[in-house]
Structure 1
Amino acid sequence: MKDDRHTGEDVPTASPDDPETAAADLADRPLRLWTLLSIAAVVLVFDVITKVLVVAYVDEGNPVEVIGDVVTLSLVRNPGAAFSMATGMTWLLTIVAVCVVIGVIRIGSTLRSLWWAIGLGMVLGGALGNLIDRFFREPGPMRGMVVDFVSVGWWPTFNVADSNIVCGAILLVVLTLFGFEPDGTRKTGDSEK
């Protein structure tokens, strides 16, 4: 087993020559579903609290300056996806978000990598945060508008859920590019055939 100082966990290298040792290494690794769910819960709670506060204290069309006019809190109700795309398909976005939640939980039930658990937990928490808006905000279930409020320069307005989805997805892409698998193994150039 190789000690990977960068990830803080032992990462066995996938070895097609010794499947019994690889299976034993994986069996010794803890499942990370609770880690994933804990991170998702923290993201969800933070997202819901910030949205409630913004709706209560920030008036639409009257941004609050945080760092001059570069970073502001600006209440926007978004019926679409990121960057206000697909604004007429709120119901479809809701169905996609439900599928993402189900998929992440299914993957999480076999997850053994701490870093994959962190990335998927961020995506799950963000998806649930925006899904709550879709179900419980006006104009009604599966058509609700997502509350966005962080405005940074020219970048489109976003929220805590959006930033966690993006950061979690970037982490998952990086893990995949560097060969880190959800089961805790790491593919090397030798083992890829």
Structure 2
Amino acid sequence: MTMTRTESQAKSRPLTARRLLLTVALGLAGVDLAAKAAAQRLLSAGRVVDLGPLDLRLVYNPGTAFSLGATLPAPLIVTAVAVIVAAVAVFAWREAAHAALLMVLGLALVLAGAIANLIDRLDDGVVTDYLHSGWWPTFNLADVFITVGAVVVLTSLFRPTPRTVDHRPQSRFE
């Protein structure tokens, strides 16, 4: 039995979407880790760079978002974060196989931020933050990826999905 072009494209769609998910997630995680390394190098000894609405200021966060759990043992935080990242990765992998492009990109952003913050935390139990607004807790690029990705995922849930067109001949009596 030979496969038609449409059937072949349908079978390769999950693989292509998953490749896109991984490529974007790993690429952006690398961008974040490079930015954190640059922040550590350039902002050491309390140096602050004023960029207008944002300052670059080096801070280390031992907790999770908004420093929640900062007093807990680092191995507990790392383990909990690793479990959450694994769950997000499994969900994103499964969802990407049949999700719209917007959803795949949103999941890739969330996964990128989660992976980058986990990798950053593995060495010393803290996450490197460097973007400071003065009115919001200091954060990093991975946090931006997670937030924007979550908004994109939510937005994609409210977009109408394209309907499949049935090309079979219709009877006049249907």
TM category, shorter: 0.7 to 0.9
- Residue 40 of structure 1 contacts residue 125 of structure 1 at CA under 8 Å; is this kept in 2? yes
Amino acid of the structure 1 residue aligned with 2:140: N
- Correspondence 1:151 to 2:151: no
How far apart, CA to CA, are the structure 1 residues paired with 2:107 and 2:131?
23
Match of 2:64 among 51, 76, 81: 81
Q: Which residue does the alignment assign to 1:161?
A: 142
CA drift of 1:95 comes to 2.5
CA RMSD of aligned residues (A): 2.4
Q: Which residue does the alignment assign to 1:114?
A: 101
Cα gap change, 1:154/1:40 in structure 2, threshold over 3 Å: closer, same or farther?
A: same
Q: Which residue does the alignment assign to 2:156?
A: 175
Match of 2:82 among 94, 98, 109: 98
Identity %: 33
CA drift of 1:59 comes to 2.2
How far apart, CA to CA, are the structure 2 residues paired with 1:132 and 1:91?
13
How far apart, CA to CA, are the structure 2 residues paired with 1:171 and 1:162?
14
Amino acid of the structure 2 residue aligned with 1:119: G
TM value normalised by structure 2: 0.75
Give the stretch that moved more between structures: 78-87 or 101-110: 101-110
Q: Greater share of helix residues, 1 or 2?
A: 2
Cα gap change, 1:62/1:121 in structure 2, threshold over 3 Å: closer, same or farther?
A: same
Cα gap change, 1:41/1:52 in structure 2, threshold over 3 Å: closer, same or farther?
A: same
